[in-house]
Amino acid sequence: MTKKSRIDVNGSTIDVPTYKFKQEYLRWKSQCNKITSETMASTGSKYVDKDRQTYPRSLYLQLKNHVNKYLRPNSSNTGNDGVYLLLEKINDLVTTTKLFTKDNLEDFNEFLDVLDDIEDDPKLNPRNTLFTRPAGWRKGKRLPKDNKTRAVNEIIITDDAPQKIYGHYRDNYFKDKYGLEEKKNWWSTEQDTANPPLAQAIFGNGELIQRGLKPIIELAIEEITGTPISKIELKIQRNAGSLARIPSVRKQVFALLKRTDLFTGGKPKLKQMATILQGMDFVVGTKSFGARAAKPQTIIQYVANLPDFPNQVERFSLKPFGESGMASLIMEVVGKKTYKLKNGNYLDIKGRTVVPKQEVKKSWMEQLWR
């Protein structure tokens, strides 16, 4: 059973589940923040440019700046698109939103579209970050420690044609030349096959990040649409009579109209009736009374001035409401101004009903004097 929490929206109290994707996102962000630029082998090289700014200190920050400030020299990416444009939006939405609406669902779908575009774009997909190396080489003798480069071994080029590699620079050529560990799964000679840290952060399935941002967004969409809101305690904000279109409400109002103890003659005890309804739970359902009536969920969202929900509301109850609201509800349920009650009287609500004038029978003495 998913744990529920309660929040107030425009006076209504709503039970909302604790979504798994929020926990998954926070775990993902924590992992990305703990993975350092040294672990990623992505610190920015002072050998390339002594004045060059070092790269951000974590995978999360490097992902955020994937195509913005920290471009590699000669990068074809403009910095006007990519992951950095949506990370802050995703973070704000996931960490600050308590109740997700249809508008929020659209945001998540847009996020997913952006991640799909990044995956499909060879310039933006970090699996395809381009590097070049010689097509052929062999490792020569070890270089003296006082050489002016960071190379540790002599490299003898056997084929100087440039060869493209994708994803990361820590390949076997880099190992032979600089003596540093090769990151075997992070680079490839074929597009879309490498899995460097930035790609792991987005798509997952790596040794650093198992579940990436994209599958978390997919989970968010699945949970937001598929997990129902179990109950709303509804604060009536406008037109209580609209609730008469909901079959479960309609049934209970008719039951009240049959109770003789709730009437003085034809006058209903509106306050007592409202109190009785407040103690009930109503099934929302999917069908309304009337061929052109809005769906029940649309009705309760309207009456309580709530946003549109992307998931089904299962039940609702009514918070305290006044006699005027109860009168409106009764009139919408009966659907006419003249309505005969079970006690033989006509429904009498001032200013709303028409009570027929009943003929008074004269006594036998009055009949004689006609």
Tell how strand 229-234 and strand 313-318 pair up.
parallel
Listed in sequence order, the residues at least 6 apart from 124 whose beta carbon sits closer than 8 Å to its beta carbon are 67, 77, 81, 82, 117, 118
Listed in sequence order, the residues at least 6 apart from 202 whose beta carbon sits closer than 8 Å to its beta carbon are 63, 83, 115, 118, 119, 126, 212, 213, 214
Strands in 313-318's sheet, in edge-to-edge order, are 4-9, 12-17, 229-234, 313-318, 282-283
Give pLDDT, residue 125. Answer: 93
The C-alpha atoms of residue 118 and residue 124 are separated, in whole angstroms, by: 5
Q: Which two tokens stand for residue 50?
A: 């002594």
Domain-by-domain residue ranges, the chain?
20-125+206-226, 130-192, 229-334
pLDDT in tens, 122-158: 888 999 999 999 999 999 999 998 888 889 999 999 9
Give pLDDT, residue 209. Answer: 97
46, 157, 320 from 184: Cα distances, Å: 24, 22, 66
The C-alpha atoms of residue 207 and residue 40 are separated, in whole angstroms, by: 12
Mean pLDDT, consecutive 10-residue segments, the chain of 370 residues?
A: 78 92 97 95 66 76 65 48 70 93 94 90 91 96 89 96 97 96 96 96 96 97 96 97 97 97 97 97 95 92 97 97 97 96 95 85 58
Length of the chain: 370
Q: Which two tokens stand for residue 157?
A: 């080029």
Give the residue among 254, 281, 257 at the shortest CA–CA distance from 269: 257
Q: Which two tokens stand for residue 183?
A: 């990151």
Residue owning tokens 């037109």: 239
- Exposure on the CB side of residue 354, measured as CA atoms within 13 A: 5
- Provide the whole-model pTM: 0.84
15, 63, 203 from 88: Cα distances, Å: 27, 11, 18
3-class secondary-structure state, position 4: strand
32, 49, 183, 216, 346 from 22: Cα distances, Å: 15, 41, 31, 9, 56
The C-alpha atoms of residue 227 and residue 350 are separated, in whole angstroms, by: 45
Q: Which two tokens stand for residue 297?
A: 């969920």
Q: Identify the burial level of 278 via C-beta atoms within 10 angstroms of its C-beta, where 0-12 means exposed, 13-18 middle and 19 or more buried.
A: middle
3-class secondary-structure state, position 319: coil
3-class secondary-structure state, position 191: coil
Q: Identify the burial level of 173 via C-beta atoms within 10 angstroms of its C-beta, where 0-12 means exposed, 13-18 middle and 19 or more buried.
A: buried
Tell how strand 4-9 and strand 12-17 pair up.
antiparallel
Give pLDDT, residue 206. Answer: 96
Backbone angles phi, psi at 155, to 5 degrees: -115, 125
Give pLDDT, residue 65. Answer: 74
